[in-house]
Amino acid sequence: MAEYKLNTPLTDEDIEQLKAGDVVFLSGTIYSARDAAHKKLVELLDAGKELPFELEGSAIYYVGPSPAPPGRPIGSAGPTTSYRMDTYAPRLHSLGMKASIGKGKRSDEVKAAMKEYKGVYFGATGGAGALLSNSIVESTVIAFEELGPEAVRKMKVKDFPLLVINDCHGGELYVKPRLDTVG
Amino acid sequence: MREIQGKDVIEAVAGMCMRGNTVLPADVRRKLEQAMAAEDSPSAVEVLRQLLENADLASDTKLPLCQDCGLAVLFVEVGDDCKVVGGNLRDLINEGVRKGYADGYLRKSACDPLTRANTGDGIPAIIHFDMVPGDKLKIAYMAKGGGAENMSRVTMLAPAQGWEGIKRFVIERVAEAGPNPCPPTIIGVGIGGTFEHAAKIAKRGLLRKLDDVHPDPKIAAMEKELEEALNALGIGPMGLGGKTTVLGVKITLEPCHLASLPLAVNVQCHSQRHEEVVL
């Protein structure tokens, strides 16, 4: 297991070196989007319109932060469960998205898309939203403000601690439950 | 008839929402510390360490433990000999939730199920009322996050499936949920009643402290058996492997129809945010 410091935008070379289990400290710009925002992004694509941010080399964080209290750039900001974005993720990978950040299992379709388009799935610790918010130094809503917590945010992160869950070589970190141990 | 002021209900509920979302309950912290000491795997130890650091930071900064401050679920016991004045009890509780989520900078997650439009203020809360003897009003608050709640299930077993069938269903559910609900989880199991009652008692059981042993030794033994079986799955903290898949199992058992064996599994995340006040 290796440790990397990476910056956005991410390149094919950045992604290819990563293996499930590696630790990555990510810096640069990432975008928040979850259920409702993904639906709207795909509707924009279907209508042939521009997305509110550049997908090439991007990292999307599946997060709906709590409101920022006075004096902080963002509230609590841990990952949400990723499978709800599985319908949309392959298409975004095909258009240049390099990384998604969340928690929980991904579908076979998403894993195949990561292989084909050189993508990676990072896990962050679920429920550690206060701690993870310390790695987010700036946050601005750039689209779909009406969605409230689900709006798309442009966020500047510094050394955001991530774990490679699925790499672009078919590797996966999650363990298989030992169902054989129970009667 | 004892009178309880409506404004006291609002303040009590608002306070529970704010404290509940920022302070990790002491029993959960103890259990996470014990789990960290017992784990050999570096990733399991690291996840548990982060959760404890997160809890310290949340209580210092008043940031929520988790960005998902949940749908507010309240279990209310109304004493026969008390009366709430200054408003309808359901409205007062909702007002308390609205105030707590606004003043505490908590995330409002209530939305229309089809349009997905956010109600904007975290309400309506889910409120369960129960009439009990006495002149007290007891309100328990639980922040129920979506990630864990989505992994919960209700089923109707055949009576012949019995305890073996119950165990199998719970184990398969936790195995299937895997890393999704933020393990280590706490598992509420409701056995009996009817379809909807099983789900309600499964969730109500989560209000018990992690270190409390069920007063019925038979049920206490069932809880222990299930806890050991679930931890043997090896899912571990965040699904990265380890000995701690669950922090506890809470079983609630009530009589049911002679043709039925209703069973509900309510999955709760490691934060187990809950609070209780008696007015």
Q: Is B67 within 8 Å of A66 when comparing Cβ atoms?
A: yes
Digit-coded pLDDT (tens) for B104-141: 999 999 999 999 999 999 999 999 999 999 999 999 99
**Spatial CA neighbour of A35 closest among A103, A90, A83, A91:** A83
Distance from CA of B67 to the nearest CA of A (A): 5
Digit-coded pLDDT (tens) for A145-163: 999 999 999 999 999 999 9
Contact B237, B48 (CB under 8 A): yes
First and final C-alpha spacing in chain B: 14
Q: Is A67 within 8 Å of B105 when comparing Cβ atoms?
A: yes
Contact A57, A29 (CB under 8 A): no
Report residue B231 CA to chain centroid gap: 19
pLDDT band at A182 (very low <50, low <70, confident <90, very high): low
- In chain A, residues with a C-beta closer than 8 Å to the C-beta of B64 are 66, 75-76, 129-130
What is the CB neighbour count within 10 angstroms for residue A1?
Answer: 12
ipTM over 0.90: yes
Digit-coded pLDDT (tens) for B161-220: 999 999 999 999 999 999 999 999 999 999 999 999 999 999 999 999 999 999 999 999
Compute the average pLDDT of residues A104-129.
98
Contact B75, B207 (CB under 8 A): yes
Q: Is the pLDDT of residue A183 over 60?
A: no
Average pLDDT over all residues of chain A = 96
Question: Is A169 tagged catalytic?
Answer: no
